[in-house]
A and B are shown apart, each in its own frame.
Chain A
Amino acid sequence: MTQTVMKIDDLHLSFPVSRSLLDVVQRKPGKSVNALNGVSLELKHGETLGVVGESGCGKSTLARCIVRLYAPTSGRIHFEDQDIFDAEAKRDRSYNRRVQMMFQDPYSSLNPRMSTGDILAEALRVHQMRPEADIAPRVAELLGLVRLPQDAAEKLPHEFSGGQRQRIAIARALAVEPEVLIADELVSALDVSVQAQVVNLLLELQERLQLTILFVAHDLRLVRHVSNRVAVIYLGRIVEIGDSETLFSAPSHPYSQALLSAAPSLDPDDKGAAIQLEGELPSPLNVPPGCPFHVRCRHVTAQCRTVVPALRTLEGRGEVACHHAEEINQHA
């Protein structure tokens, strides 16, 4: 359980924005979107690490970096002590097999012209998982694994509902026997009653196949339910990371506190407890100096405006990136 599978070290990623002609004439420097600003975390064998944050905070970018869809500007990702962006590692296709990603939109992530059977068989062929003769039985086995009827193999994606499509996506990821699954908003597009079915399936398969899962989502209740540990991301930085139950029952960072209290409770009498956040997520085009959260924070001081707080362990809690974590949590 404690063995580290993946180690992410100070990951930075910025996308350059194309300069307008006016900017070039005026010699203005080119701007860039700073999607990730130094993310470090470890993924341990068999755990589920939840990643939460508002849209635009960099959580999907992080997921895409991990599966090498984006190359980071700086920083390292080690998978079993092997740098995945190393020239040699890039040639190594086994990483692509061992770390699989599942996408958010079940309507655009499956090829509409391929039958479910072809989609699954393609994955098996590309990674040469089975000899040609064994492919059909393996496809049947996979459909059984995600509890889709056997006749699903001949059907095209449009014949399935959103929940069933996400099951196909799970089956496709599992076809190549991966060790790590990256679930980017896997169930966000689904209705609640169907969401529960897919989440149950994921939890069950994790148990059975000893999978390590990075679960990226914005639904806090769901993340709390599936995760062992949770990382809260704000503007491309982890502001708090720790044990899921501790973090959700007693969040330490002022942003985590506001984020958690903003989720509407199912209890009609539980009104008015929410901490209102002023304003919105600043644009990643110009990340504020100092603590990225200081423009919206109630506890802001002069120090927050200039010095970026580092992630540090708080007694009895997880790791928090806040200069005033102690004082804030004393009153709580």
Chain B
Amino acid sequence: MTDHPILEVENLCTTFSRGGTALPAVRDVSFALGKGQVQGLVGESGSGKSVTLRSILGLARHYGEVSGSVRWQGQELTTMSERQLRKIRGREIAMIFQEPMTSLNPLLTVGTQIKETLTAHTDLGRRARRDRAIEMLDHVGIPAAATRLEEYPHQFSGGMRQRVMIAIALAASPKLLLADEPTTALDVTIQAQILDLILKLADEMAMGVVLVTHDLGVVAQTCDTVSVMYAGRVVEQGAVRQVLRTPRHPYTEGLMRSVPQDVPPRTQLYSVPGTPPSLFSLPQGCAFAPRCQAAGPACQTARPTLQDIAPGRQTACFHPLPATQEDAA
């Protein structure tokens, strides 16, 4: 399935500068995505997952410094001019943002906003654009699409607005969808509907998806592969089943165990001690070392790099957790 990855991210680094200090927001993120695959980026707030997503599409370079390589179907995106990028954004690579409440223009009807995308990226005529807009709204499950086309964003609920966002993003049939916490602001029942919709459309249109989320349950239910990020770096990545079943990095394990599932009720939950480090003062060695129970002297001084530990499975830790039989199999 992945003989020809459509997206290859290699050693992606994004640095912001704040008052003369360099903030390493993203460091050495690498992953590849095949056609129709869903890749998850998971981590806590401030771990750099959204910035990674924005760096891929060249949005972060307006306010930060991006290095490394992002290859989209053989083309290098990081060095591409804004003009060339504009042809790819929306047409080949689309993005949906976290806040359905603020990412639509409140002054334009929903129909205008979908048709705008079509005008920019397709050569459909006026009538055809309208038909396509109705078809897209239908597709994302908005009833009475023809009449709702004339309505404004405030007349839609949160879940419906996120559907509109998806309709806009997918209007030009992109090959890759970058989704930044698409369901975080929504209720669980609506979340299930939206995730199902994204998966169904990805399947139908053979579209790759990079899904940023902080919810491990969402990752488990939707992604094929996952990268766990901590303080701007990937600490563990691999197939979802392996990473979540038998985490090898202590941070991944800590995250999994913090979720109250299958623990006796009203007992003390496992919690990772301490808080994530500030990007202003990252520890010299492994960024997770101050919170890690397995940390040894080496962890304080040297930073572990991402190593292959099994086929398609990498972790950045000097003292990885033991593998189980399932992992070896």
Contacts A262-B189, A274-B192 given: A192-B259 contact, CB under 8 Å? Answer: yes
Residue of A221, A244, A266 with most partner-chain B CB within 10 A: A266
Set of chain A residues within 8 Å of B255, measured between Cβ atoms:
192-193
The contact of B244 among A48, A199, A266, A271, by CB within 8 Å, is A266
The contact of B214 among A54, A191, A264, by CB within 8 Å, is A191
A195 within 8 A of B: yes
Give the number of chain B interface residues (Cβ < 8 Å).
Answer: 44
Rounded to whole Å, the gap between the CB of A254 and the closest CB of chain B is 12
B23 within 8 A of A: no
Rounded to whole Å, the gap between the CB of B158 and the closest CB of chain A is 8
Contact A225 B196 (CB under 8 A): no
Contacts A194-B275, A196-B258 given: A204-B193 contact, CB under 8 Å? Answer: no
B320 within 8 A of A: no
Give the number of chain A interface residues (Cβ < 8 Å).
Answer: 45
Rounded to whole Å, the gap between the CB of A158 and the closest CB of chain B is 13
Contact A55 B265 (CB under 8 A): no
B160 within 8 A of A: yes
The contact of A276 among B192, B215, B259, by CB within 8 Å, is B192
B82 within 8 A of A: no
Chain B 211-234, CB-CB to A under 8 Å as 1, else 0, gives 000111110110000000000000
Identify the closest chain A residue to B183 (Cβ).
A264
Set of chain B residues within 8 Å of A262, measured between Cβ atoms:
188-189, 191-192
B241 within 8 A of A: yes
Identify the closest chain B residue to A223 (Cβ).
B260
Q: What separation, in Å, do the CA atoms of A152 and B321 have in the docked complex? A: 36
Contact A204 B265 (CB under 8 A): no
Contact B244 A280 (CB under 8 A): no
Stretch at the interface among B8-16, B166-174, B266-274, B296-304: B266-274
Contacts A192-B255, A196-B258, A245-B265 given: A265-B217 contact, CB under 8 Å? Answer: yes
Contact B217 A280 (CB under 8 A): no
Residue of B188, B193, B245 with most partner-chain A CB within 10 A: B188
A268 within 8 A of B: yes
Contact A54 B261 (CB under 8 A): no
Contact B268 A192 (CB under 8 A): no
Identify the closest chain A residue to B190 (Cβ).
A280
Identify the closest chain A residue to B251 (Cβ).
A193
B240 within 8 A of A: yes
Contact B269 A200 (CB under 8 A): yes
Contact B268 A200 (CB under 8 A): yes
Identify the closest chain A residue to B239 (Cβ).
A268
Contact A193 B44 (CB under 8 A): yes
Rounded to whole Å, the gap between the CB of B172 and the closest CB of chain A is 27
Instruction: Give me the 4 closest cross-chain CB pairs, A-B, nearest first.
Output: A264-B217, A196-B271, A225-B260, A191-B44
Question: What are 8 sample pairs from A and B whose C-beta atoms fall under 8 A apart?
Answer: A196-B272, A197-B271, A222-B260, A244-B265, A262-B189, A265-B220, A268-B245, A277-B192
Known A-B contacts: A196-B258, A266-B244, A276-B193. Give 11 more (CB < 8 A): A191-B45, A192-B44, A193-B254, A203-B266, A204-B268, A225-B263, A262-B188, A264-B191, A266-B217, A266-B256, A277-B192
Chain A: residues with CB nearer than 8 A to chain B? 48, 54-55, 161, 163-164, 191-197, 199-200, 203-204, 218, 220-222, 224-228, 244-245, 258-259, 262-271, 274, 276-277, 280-281
